[in-house]
Amino acid sequence: MNITLENKDALNAVVKVDIAKEDYSDKVEKVLNNYRKTANIPGFRKGKVPKGLVKKQYGQSVLVDEVNKLLQESLNNYLTEEKLDILGNPLPKPQDNFNWEDDDYSFEFELGLAPEFEVSLDNKEPITHYVISADDEMIDNQIKMIQKQYGKIIAQNEVKEGFNIEGTFHNPEAEIEQDASFNIDEVEGKTNKKKLIGAKTGEQVTLKSTKLFKDTATLASKLGIDEDKAEGLKVDLTLTINEVNEQVPAELNQELFDKYFGEGEVNSEEELKERIKADSEKTFAQQGDQQLLNDVTEYLVENTTFDLPAEFLQKWLKVQGEKELTDEEAKEEYEKSEKGLKYQLIEGKIINQNDLQVQAEDLKAMTKERIKMQMAQFGQTDLPEEQLDDIANRVLSNQDEAKKIAEQAMSQKLLDFYKEKLNLKEEKLSYKAFIDKVYK
């Protein structure tokens, strides 16, 4: 067997694999002998089938199978031994004159080679790292949400501001007959709201579908229809009021604190606000870090210049899925994935050059931290270390879950590395300001 490599340019190469008869003949012979021992062919006892007959029936398929096995094994070993950094997978070149009746075979594969490049972490213009705070308005709204969550529902006979309505919407012509639940404050139109205020349980109220709720999606949900049908819907709706309920918020007292955070965790309104602020800002820190990672990714892709074997990758994308793509589809798919592929190469170089590794203890620590956060949501904040270890081991025994956590742990290592090496500037702002600035 002989394997040779021809570089077409810096990003493309062709590897040629020459397989001679002596490379595969023993393997084929061995398989055919095994077939002869086990084959059930009418007219012959098991194990007594003539070798020529076995070869005639199975020889071609065994030959093809064994040569292909040898080819794949040899090619993979060659790529590994030569330390060729390829993109995608080798693509076999078509051979019009190929003949399995020959004794010796030649196969050629196109390779897309990873480019050579350098990554600079010397950014003169600082990248913003957002530090997000929980302002008083957000904390107050969170407290109201907690009070509402643990409050009481009291049945009423008449609709008033802030009350919940359980009713049925009717319109036979529009084929609407739907039970719905909503708060009077969700009603947008002044005329509709005016008709509802003061209405009593058991009464029917005629409402306009226009401006009934804040958007088409909400209207569609409440009326039980598709959004397409709800878009521009202008009909009269009869609402039969089945129930009217007032939601009375829970009092801010020790009973509420214990229910929400666990017994003795919070002991005053001041501590409540401090806890909400700390918990919120811990979540916001994750969002700020994710945005930093997004911005660093954008910076590195834009400021690290190299080419990819675009033509090869489009060919590879065309055939690597379950369904073969057209040339246009493959080109479109490549254009969508080009930036992501470039960052994968940049990230890989940063990881290798700086020896960033995820150790078993990193996975265990991250898994245990996540378990603690999940259990805290159910008021369990003091899980014994032995129990934490046991749960973490069970989670990591799932290969898919372990892989996912490993990827997240590497993202955290990269994030810590970027924070240390890149020129960053902190910008402190409220959560609302962050959303307005980043997402609008």
Phi first, then psi: give them for residue 156, nearest 5 degrees. Answer: -130, 165
Rounded Cα–Cα distance for residues 346 and 183 (Å): 51
User: In 3D, which of 30, 38, 37 has the Cα closest to residue 59?
Assistant: 30
Give the global pTM.
0.75
Q: Which pair of structure tokens corresponds to residue 286?
A: 């994750």
User: In 3D, which of 341, 297, 300 has the Cα closest to residue 112?
Assistant: 341
**Backbone dihedral region for residue 137 (phi beyond 0: left; psi -120 to 50: alpha; all else: beta):** alpha
User: What would the CATH number be for the domain defined by 2-113?
Assistant: 3.30.70.1050
User: Domain extents for the chain?
Assistant: 2-113, 152-248, 267-439
**pLDDT recorded at residue 191:** 93
**End-to-end CA separation in angstroms for the chain:** 61
Q: By the 8 A CB rule, do 414 and 294 touch? A: no
Query: Within 10 A of 293 (CB to CB), how many other CB atoms are there?
Result: 15
Rounded Cα–Cα distance for residues 18 and 354 (Å): 40
Q: Which pair of structure tokens corresponds to residue 43?
A: 């007219």
Q: By the 8 A CB rule, do 208 and 192 touch? A: yes
**pLDDT recorded at residue 263:** 84
Q: Going residue by residue through the chain (440 aa), what tens digit of pLDDT does each one get?
A: 999 999 999 999 999 999 999 999 999 989 888 877 777 777 676 766 777 887 888 888 999 999 999 999 999 999 999 999 999 999 999 988 899 989 999 999 999 999 999 999 999 999 999 999 999 999 999 999 999 999 999 999 999 999 999 999 999 999 999 999 999 999 998 999 999 999 999 999 999 999 899 999 999 999 999 999 999 899 999 999 999 999 999 999 999 999 888 888 899 999 999 999 999 999 999 999 999 999 999 999 999 999 999 999 999 999 988 899 999 999 999 999 999 999 999 999 999 999 999 999 999 999 998 888 788 766 666 778 888 889 999 999 999 999 999 999 999 999 999 999 999 999 999 999 999 998 87
**pLDDT recorded at residue 204:** 96
Rounded Cα–Cα distance for residues 312 and 90 (Å): 10
Residues 6+ apart with CB under 8 A from 7: 13, 113
Rounded Cα–Cα distance for residues 313 and 332 (Å): 12
Second CATH level (architecture) for the domain 152-248: Roll (3.10)
Rounded Cα–Cα distance for residues 367 and 395 (Å): 8
**pLDDT recorded at residue 55:** 83
Q: By the 8 A CB rule, do 251 and 150 touch? A: no
**pLDDT recorded at residue 247:** 92
User: In 3D, which of 23, 236, 16 has the Cα closest to residue 109?
Assistant: 16
Per-residue buried b or exposed e for 355-380, using 16+ beta carbons within 10 Å of the residue's own CB: eeebeeebbbebbbeebeeebbeeee
Rounded Cα–Cα distance for residues 235 and 171 (Å): 8
